[in-house]
Structure formats: structure tokens, C-alpha cells
Structure 1
Amino acid sequence: MSTSLKLEPPCQSKSNFLWEDPPDENKFSACVHCGMCLESCPTYLETGHEQQSPRGRVHLIKSVAEGKMTVNEAFEDPIFTCLDCRACETACPSGVQVGALIEEARGQIRKAIPLKGWKAGISKFFLRGVFPHPNRLHALGGLMKVYQRSGMQSIVRKSGLIKVMPKHLQEMEAIMPAVQDPVMKKYPEVIVAKGETKQRVALLTGCVMDVMFGDINEATVRVLTRNGYEVVVPRSQRCCGALHIHAGDREEGKRLAKQNIDAFLAADVDKVVVNAAGCGCALKEYPELFHHDPEYKEKAEQFAEKIEDVSKFLVEQGYQKPQGSIETKVTYHDACHLAHGQGVRNQPRELLRDIPGVQMVEMPNADRCCGSAGIYNLTNPEMAGKVLDEKMSFVPQEVDMISMGNPGCMLQMTMGVAKHGRSAKVVHTIQLLDRSYQLEDEKRKGEGSS
């Protein structure tokens, strides 16, 4: 299939974005094509192609809006090849909101060019059938737990059956974390603070996060309650919708957004704490989804004001300095949607530096994308692999751990560690803080019993 870029005759002036939520003219008209974004874009650095750069993509979006180009496969390819990492937004002197433009354009593309065949089936199954429904997701997690702990996983690997899968899926299966019991099921809806209650906060448990990384959610609960924060886990919360919005399914994204807005506002909390960078960024950007819905636009703005990454929340609201020593060398990876999307960079590093025994080793280009980008490593495995290889070249050789604040990055970086024969352990920043607290308690307990 050809992806050559053919513009329509300039006499056509009507926009070829024909559906609701087209890319906002105020956003793409802000681009002055200065090129400051080029060196920050992973896909441009890999290909050298203008249409695979932020500037090029904005130009294509503008061309469709002006009727000079149609929504076709040539437009679809560069828009969906974008990692949506937002590095270009950090570099842009004009403040162009490239991420929002890309997501709005993807919504138009999926209306004009719906997925077909097995791709449509898989997308519908996961994005509509599983992720929005906690009970189904937990059931799927239960099956995965049986697969991992019954010996079936070992049999499948030893028998060679795993080799029927594409190579990138084999690599992902090899580093799949042990499925944990979800916090949604293990904890009550309200978890009381230890000691005096400072604030009442809610925790976004996430969809995949609560199944694949339930231990991180548990660590987050322990850290928050230890520091005097009452934690509410609303039972009516749902998947944040980030994956749906990235995939162009804005309709489902809006439906999930409304459920979350209503659930968390009803919880009457001071803040909504998030430990997944991609989710936090999506929640903060809910107002973007409701331009033409006055009722929910106001609610979304009120809700977005409450969203806080866990590291930023702890540093700004206060936390006990940990006393348990962890003798290790740690480097920190800036998740794109934390550094570029939310502007959170120093706070996670501050938490790490406060842990006794931790020696921080800065990573060059720490905010360069790892290639995870939601499910990008599944939909664009070749490009994701190249971006990951580049990222791993920046990881200092001497470190014992690579810390970060996003589950997708954790899976991708773990795959990179295995692929490049490295030994560093990939951890969430909050896990290290929680472990330091645990070691502190164990030491005091031991001193008290002696």
C-alpha cells in the first residue's frame, strides 16, 4: 500500500475533517515551522523524514483542515506512527499542543478508515470488551495468575509453543510480571490514615495497573497512609481511557471520562493521586474531550485540578523522610507523560535522594522516550524496538536499578534490560520509598525485641 503524500487541488477549501472533535485550528495555526521540535522527535531521528516529525505532522493536519488533503492512508501512517511522547511540546517555543492535535486527528482517521479484520477484533475485545470493565479485567488477571503459577507457563516455554507468537510478543511474555491481586479487591473503599489525618485523597487504581502491577498500588497505599493521608478507592472508577484516546476511539474515551469524573468528584477528596504517568496525563486533559459539552467541561476542569502524580503530591504536601537504608546505585528514567506531559521531573528524584544508601546516577537523555507509548510497542513493534535500543544506550552501565513512574515504561525497559544483557532491576519510584519505610520498621522492631 502506497503512503506517498498527495495533496488535493488548492481550490478545495472546505475542511476534510468531517466528524465531531476535529483538530483545533487554534492549535495547529500556532506552529511557525521553526524546526526546534525535530531533534526531540524519536521517529524523525530514526527516519529523517519530514512527515515523521512534529512539524511535518502539524502541516499534514493543517492541510486536511484546509481541504488540500484527504483523510487517507498517506495521512494515517505518520499520525499513527507518532509516539505521542510530547517531547516536541517541551521543545516548542510556540507552545503547540501536538499531543492534542494527534489525538484529535486519530479520532477523525478512525471514523474515515475503521480498523478491519483481526485488528478490529483485537481492538474491540480489549478496548471495549475488557479494559472498561473491572470485573472482566480481574477475571482475565485471574486466568493469567493460574497460567503463571500452575506450571503452564513453564510447560509452554519449554515445549517451544511460545515460538509460534511474533518475536516481540515472545519478548513481552518473557518479562511479564507476576500477576498480583488487585487493590480494588484486597482493600476497603476507605483506608484510614496512620496517626492524624492530614488530607483525604483518592487513588486511581487503573486497569492494567491493578492487575499486572497490584504491588505498586499496594506500595502507594502504604506510603500514603503512613504519611497521614486517608485513601479512598472509589468502586465506580474505570480505566482512564488513555489507550482509547490514543487509538482514536474518542467516543469510548469520553464515556470512561464521564464515569471517572462522576466517581471521583462524588468521593469528595482533596486530591486524586495517580502512580501511572500516562493515566495522570490523560486525566489532566479530560477538559479537552468536552469542548462542546458545557456540563462536563466544567466538571472535567474541576476534576483535572485535583489530579496529582504521587511523587509530586508527596513532595509538595509533605512526607516522612525514610530511614531504612537501601545500598544501591539508581538511575531515573523520565516517563514521557510525566516529564513532558505533566512537567514532573525533580520530585521523583528528590524522593530517591532522600532514601539512605541510594546513590543517584543521572542518565543522559533521561527524558527520551523508551518506545512503550501505551500499546505502541504492540502496534508498531519495529519502531518501538529501535527507540528502545537508543534508550538503552543511555542507561549507565554501573547502576543496579532503573527507577521510573509509569507501568508501560517499566515493561518496555525490562524488555530492554533483557534484550541488551543488562542486570539492572526495573522499579517504580514509590516501591523504593515503600521498601525504605519497611526496612526502617523492621530495624525498629528488631531493636525493640532485643
Structure 2
Amino acid sequence: MDPKLIKDCVHCGFCLPTCPTYLLWGEEMDSPRGRIHLMKQHTEGTPITPEMAGHFDACLGCMACVTACPSGVQYDRLIEQTRAEVEREHVREPRDRAVRGLVFSLFPYPRRLRLLRPGLGLAARLAPFLERVHPSLGAMAALAPEPGRRQRLPALVRARGPRRAVVGMLTGCVQREFFPQVNAATARVLALEGCDVVIPPSQGCCGALSVHSGRADQAVRFAKRTIRTFERAGVSTVVVNAAGCGSSMKEYADLLAGDPAWARRAKALRTVDLSEYLAELGPVATRHPLEVSVAYHDACHLAHAQGIRSQPRALLAAIPGLRLKEVPDSAICCGSAGTYNLFQPEAARDLGDRKAKSVASTGAELLVSANPGCTMQIAAAMTRAGDSIRVAHTAEVLDASLRGVRL
């Protein structure tokens, strides 16, 4: 934990109304400034106790406090440093260690995730039993989506019409195996807008889940492999359609700061979110009407970590017939937050239920999100509430409009 970054916090309290866990419990140590106080205690010699680790674990890492802070506190860097310290020093209960080991032996590995696909349809029915074994296992089963039809993407998708750019595309882990239709839609949209899309078949996890959970060594390995993969593919710009992945890839240079050569290679590889890139590129393909009302959900690692809010809204609003509706309290996290809804299922469920009510209040026919975790989290919460709403990624909506097909 960097003492200089800790000193930036003046404990003004602007972060409090934006912090999901403070809103849930009203507990000072479960607010950003409270956690920073605990970080300061640790730098001054206090060991990480189980109670202290619990307060750090309870943080979603949603970065809403970073947006709200008038002093520019880099809480994102602080919580990542702190989580790495927790993983080094804190000894978890055997059952919790086993569950964390299971999650991190599965989710960052697309081929292993693929083995889960046949059983995803049964997962919800097994959730009550698995919850008795461990709450995290029950949460994992309850969140499981019906996987989209598996699609193999070619290594290169050619631009339709005159070529305007050449970009790489990250396929991700959960996105690739549970939401393959999103990657297919992303490639088609980029091609229709004049891009050659390079999709290296050898790519793996970008390291986002690892870095957000304090597993720095694993994150570094994944980051280096991702950089190497796209270097070999001959692209300097990588388009990402998952908010958490894009946020982490944009921070590769900081992650690899201890190795200057790799840090330079990280800086040379530009990462852009899909909506960010399309807004920069400008439209050339014709938008066909979609008569649908859409509630757009701000994924935290898109809105707060990357500062991307207007671009996806502008892209959706430009579709004829589409009616865009704002979700109340959109800045408050839905409770997904990478692996948070697996390791902190009770708090995640409360936040998911809160978000589901906000989404339902819009009366929209379709929920649009730019992160697979958010999609699973909100869909599960809507189901619990007895509401049904179709869900889609921004790329899927754009794809339907550009191709003139129904959603």
C-alpha cells in the first residue's frame, strides 16, 4: 500500500453516498475513507486481522468513489495493492480457500469454462443444494446463464466496403464461452463499419479477475501473454467488449511497471472499449429502425474506471425507433463486480435486487449492458423478483440495426 496515495484522502465524506456497501450497512469501515483508514493502520505496523480483511473483501472495487472524490484519491490503485497484501498475509478458512481456488482454476481459462456449458441449464435447479454446501457455490449456480449457441470466429473478419482500420478483438473468458453471440455481433459491427478485425485464436484471459482479486502474479502472467498475442497478430489497437477486461488492459503499464521493457510494450498496445472506438471512428453503415425501449445499464468498470458514459448512449440513441431510458441511481453498482457476487453473495444479492427494482421502474422492454457479469447479475435479480426482461449487449443492438434484423 502506497503511503503517498493514502495521504491524498482528506476524509471529506464525498465518497459515502456513492459507496454501495456504505449504503447497505452504514458502517464507516465499509466506506472508502474507512478502508483507507485501515490501510493507513497497516502501513504503520498493524497486521491484517480477519476483521480488517473482511472490510477489504467487502469492497466491490466499483470505483464510484473515484468518480465522486474531489481530491483525486486513487482508490482503484489502493484497493488493488491492498488486496494483493491481503492475499499474501491473511490466512483464509479452508472452505473459503477451496472455493477461491476453484473459481480461479476455472474462470480465467476459457477451455475449462467450456466444460461447464452442458450443465448450465441445470445449474439453477441445483443452486439450493449447492448453497448448503457453500454460499459461493449456490451463487455460482444461480447466476449461470443459458449459454448462447457456440460460434467459432475466424482469425480475420474482413471489412465490408472500403477498409478504414485494422483492429484486434479480445474474445475474453466468460464472454467467449457463455455469451459467444456478443463476440460474433462485435466482429460484424466492426466489419460493417469498415474494420478488418483480427481475432487471434490463441488468446486467453486478460488477467482482469486476477488483478481485481489481489492475485498479482497470475495477472502479470496473463497480461504478458495477452500483449504478446496481439503483438504477434500485428495489431496496435485492441477493441474490448467487456468493461472489466478493458479497464484492466488499459492499466497494463502500471501492472507491469516493475519490468520496464514490458511496461513499454504495454503502452504501445492501445486498448479501447467497443463504444469508445465506434464513437471515434464515426458511422458509415446504415442504421435500420428498431422499435424497442431500452434501459441502458452503466457497468462500473466502463463508467467509473474508464469514464465512458456518453458514447454507448449516443450509439443507441442514433438507432431510429429506439427509445432510450435512464436507470435510476445508475452510478450504484449492481453487485456483480467481477468475482464479488461469488465471494460476497449476500451483499451482491441485496445490490442486485436494488438494481433490478431500478431497471423495472423504467418499463423498458430490453436491458442493455456492456459487461457479461452485470448481465448475469441483473438477469438473475430480475428473475428473483418475478420480472422478466430481455437482455443484450450494446454490440447486439447495433448489429441488429445495421443488419436490419429483429432483436
Same fold (TM over 0.5): yes
**C-alpha contact (below 8 Å) 2:193/2:285 kept by paired residues:** no
Is the aligned partner of 1:71 residue 2:45? Answer: no
Deviation at 1:265, TM superposition (A): 2.5
Is the aligned partner of 1:85 residue 2:62? Answer: yes
Deviation at 1:123, TM superposition (A): 2.5
Which amino acid is the alignment partner of residue 402 of structure 2? Y
State how far apart, in whole Å, the 2-side matches of 1:274 and 1:285 are: 14
Deviation at 1:295, TM superposition (A): 1.4
Q: Which residue of 2 aligns with 1:433?
A: 398
**C-alpha contact (below 8 Å) 1:325/1:355 kept by paired residues:** yes
Is the aligned partner of 1:195 residue 2:161? Answer: yes
Is the aligned partner of 1:391 residue 2:355? Answer: yes
Q: Which residue of 1 aligns with 2:8?
A: 30
Aligned to 2:21, which of 30, 43, 60? Answer: 43
State how far apart, in whole Å, the 2-side matches of 1:401 and 1:180 are: 17
Deviation at 1:389, TM superposition (A): 2.2
Which amino acid is the alignment partner of residue 112 of structure 2? R
Q: Which aligned pairs between 1:266-281 and structure 2 lie closer than 5 A?
A: 266-281=232-247
Aligned to 1:135, which of 111, 115, 127? Answer: 111
Gaps of 5+ in 2: none
State how far apart, in whole Å, the 2-side matches of 1:148 and 1:416 are: 17
Aligned length: 402
State how far apart, in whole Å, the 2-side matches of 1:135 and 1:46 are: 37
Deviation at 1:48, TM superposition (A): 1.0
- Report the TM-score, using the length of structure 1 for normalisation: 0.84
Which of the two has higher C-alpha Rg?
Answer: 1
Secondary structure in structure 2 of the residue aligned to 1:200: strand
Q: Which aligned pairs between 1:76-225 and structure 2 lie closer than 5 A?
A: 76-127=53-104, 129-138=105-114, 140-141=115-116, 144-145=117-118, 147=119, 153=122, 157=125, 163-166=128-131, 173=141, 176-180=144-148, 186-225=152-191
State how far apart, in whole Å, the 1-side matches of 2:313 and 2:376 are: 20
Deviation at 1:321, TM superposition (A): 5.3
Deviation at 1:171, TM superposition (A): 6.9
**C-alpha contact (below 8 Å) 1:181/1:211 kept by paired residues:** no
Is the aligned partner of 1:410 residue 2:375? Answer: yes
Is the aligned partner of 1:351 residue 2:327? Answer: no
Deviation at 1:85, TM superposition (A): 0.2
Is the aligned partner of 1:326 residue 2:290? Answer: yes
Are residues 384 and 175 of structure 1, via their aligned partners in 2, closer, same or farther at CA, if it must alter by over 3 Å? closer
Which amino acid is the alignment partner of residue 99 of structure 2? I
Percent identity over paired residues: 41
Q: Which residue of 2 aligns with 1:314?
A: 278
Deviation at 1:281, TM superposition (A): 0.4
State how far apart, in whole Å, the 1-side matches of 2:12 and 2:392 are: 38
State how far apart, in whole Å, the 2-side matches of 1:148 and 1:257 are: 29
Secondary structure in structure 2 of the residue aligned to 1:402: strand
Is the aligned partner of 1:371 residue 2:328? Answer: no
State how far apart, in whole Å, the 1-side matches of 2:233 and 2:331 are: 34
- RMSD after superposition: 2.2
**C-alpha contact (below 8 Å) 1:321/1:354 kept by paired residues:** no
Deviation at 1:390, TM superposition (A): 2.1
- Report the TM-score, using the length of structure 2 for normalisation: 0.93
**C-alpha contact (below 8 Å) 2:295/2:362 kept by paired residues:** no
Larger displacement relative to structure 2 (95-104 or 117-126): 117-126
Are residues 331 and 322 of structure 1, via their aligned partners in 2, closer, same or farther at CA, if it must alter by over 3 Å? farther
Deviation at 1:175, TM superposition (A): 5.9
**C-alpha contact (below 8 Å) 2:337/2:373 kept by paired residues:** yes
Is the aligned partner of 1:288 residue 2:264? Answer: no
Secondary structure in structure 2 of the residue aligned to 1:202: strand
Larger displacement relative to structure 2 (96-105 or 165-174): 165-174
Secondary structure in structure 1 of the residue aligned to 2:364: coil
Aligned to 1:58, which of 23, 30, 36? Answer: 36
**C-alpha contact (below 8 Å) 2:127/2:139 kept by paired residues:** no
Is the aligned partner of 1:237 residue 2:213? Answer: no
State how far apart, in whole Å, the 2-side matches of 1:291 and 1:237 are: 22
Are residues 114 and 260 of structure 1, via their aligned partners in 2, closer, same or farther at CA, if it must alter by over 3 Å? farther
Q: Which residue of 1 aligns with 2:227?
A: 261
Q: Which residue of 2 aligns with 1:7?
A: none
Gaps of 5+ in 1: 1-22, 443-450
Are residues 421 and 135 of structure 1, via their aligned partners in 2, closer, same or farther at CA, if it must alter by over 3 Å? closer
Which amino acid is the alignment partner of residue 124 of structure 1? G
**C-alpha contact (below 8 Å) 1:321/1:355 kept by paired residues:** no
Deviation at 1:174, TM superposition (A): 5.5
Which amino acid is the alignment partner of residue 421 of structure 1? G
State how far apart, in whole Å, the 2-side matches of 1:34 and 1:353 are: 37
Secondary structure in structure 1 of the residue aligned to 2:404: helix
State how far apart, in whole Å, the 1-side matches of 2:276 and 2:282 are: 10
**C-alpha contact (below 8 Å) 1:274/1:309 kept by paired residues:** yes
Which amino acid is the alignment partner of residue 47 of structure 2? T
